[in-house]
Structure 1
Amino acid sequence: MASVTSAESGRLGTLPLGYYSCSEPGDAGGQAWIDLPDKHFTIGNGSTYHTDAGSGTYLLTGKRVIFTRGPMKGVRFERSGKVTLRWIDEDGKPGRVRCVRQASSV
């Protein structure tokens, strides 16, 4: 049986409700952040999320978020602050993409 690391074994919770806009860093010669509309999502009640492709569920434990069902199944984030999520890449390391809550109503 695999052991659970301290980063994965936090208190269960939910994300703040609202629309999350995702982007990645630009460069000094252009935009500071490049919008990634195909990665945007909305967090709803009861650990649910919605995208243009459909709906699903997520699990928040400590600072780790994993989308468990739906079109984003398997996508992982690390929470940094109350409204910012950092995409975790396939190697388990923070990636370049960040998603920030833009609106509190759904």
Structure 2
Amino acid sequence: MKRAFIAAAALAATIAVPVSAQQRLGTLPHGRYVCALPGDATSKSVKEVSEHNFTITGASSYEAAEGRGTYLRKGDTVVFTRGPRKDMRLKLLGSGLMQWIKEDGTLGRIRCSRAGR
């Protein structure tokens, strides 16, 4: 009887937690990230947007030209929670490559890639 109650409680706990809250927390690889817009056939292949560049310096910490801050990585989404990039959101596309998430939740054109340590 006691086992059945524990199993039922565990099942209820997983059902009550929203799917978005079940994503794993993580961190980004340390290093400098360069943000850029895609180019076209008549110009460079990419156009750097240096005002969005940042460097991951430690566990959930970053640094930009304007100062330092913190971020939260949940699943494939990165949200800057404090500092000069506050509220900037990025979607992880692969190792060291992220794409801007616009305010309406759609993907923007800016991509940020890890340029080195």
Provide TM-score, normalisation by structure 2: 0.81
- Displacement over 6 Å in runs of 4+: none
Q: Equivalent residue for 1:34?
A: 47
The amino acid of 1:60's aligned partner reads: R
CA distance in structure 1 between the partners assigned to 2:30 and 2:59 by the alignment: 10
CA distance in structure 1 between the partners assigned to 2:60 and 2:84 by the alignment: 15
Unmatched segments (≥5 aa) in structure 2: 1-16
Provide TM-score, normalisation by structure 1: 0.89
CA distance in structure 2 between the partners assigned to 1:77 and 1:52 by the alignment: 19
Q: Spell out, residue by residue over 1:65-98, the C-alpha distance to the aligned partner (whole angstroms, 9 max, x if none).
A: 0000001100000001110010001110110000
Please give the secondary structure, in 2, of the residue aligned with 1:67.
strand
1:37 Cα shift? 1.1
More helix by share: 2
Which of structures 1 and 2 has the larger relative contact order (alpha carbons within 8 angstroms, sep 6+)? 1
Q: Which has the larger radius of gyration?
A: 2
Pick aligned residue for 2:65 from 52, 56, 60: 52
Q: Equivalent residue for 2:106?
A: 93
Percent sequence identity over matched residues?
A: 44
Q: Aligned-pair RMSD on alpha carbons?
A: 1.4
